[in-house]
Amino acid sequence: MSITETALYQHVKSHETIRLGNLFFFEHYLVAEFNEGVEINYKNFDEVRELIKDHFGDENFGLISNRIHSYSIVVTDAPLFNQCESLKAYATVTYSLFAEKVFNVENYFFNFNKQNFHSLTDAKVWVENTLTVHTQQSLN
């Protein structure tokens, strides 16, 4: 289910449509809905990185990948993606067993604090809670 079909959509601060898909920015996290069939690699992710930097600056943030479409991530680029130290919570929302298995394979390559969910609401709660913990730890 697209975020546009949920109550969360009314809290979106900005919505960007890019070549890879749609990005929905909230105060401390974003929801990404990448297009069917795209291949995401470090180079074509530049536009996403720039928008993240514009929106969050150097602040910690979370990312929810709402996998309503099938797409691929070049896992050999994982060491480059893993350099993003500001990403403190990476949630995926999957809607099929296949997508869930892809998430499990990705875990072997990506070092992010990742969790998989079956609903956007559960993913949002986990991301917000995780960011709160990181904020409290940095204040101590």
Q: State the pLDDT at residue 135.
A: 78
Using one digit for the tens of pLDDT, what is the confidence trace for 7-57?
Answer: 999 999 999 999 999 999 999 999 999 999 999 999 999 999 999 999 999
The domains of the chain are located at 3-139
What average pLDDT does the structure give for the chain?
94
Query: CA 104, CA 133: separation in Å to the nearest integer?
Result: 25
pLDDT digits (tens, 9 = 90+) for 67-118: 999 999 999 999 999 999 999 999 999 999 999 998 989 889 999 899 999 9
Dihedral (C-alpha) 87, 89, 93, 94: value to the nearest 10 degrees?
80
Question: Which residues does 56 contact at the CB level (< 8 Å), separation at least 6?
Answer: 28, 86
Alpha carbons 61 and 105: distance in angstroms, whole number: 24
> What is this structure's pTM?
0.94
What CATH code would you report for 3-139?
A: 3.30.750
Phi then psi for residue 29, to 5 deg, are -155, 170
Residue 140 has pLDDT above 70, yes or no: no
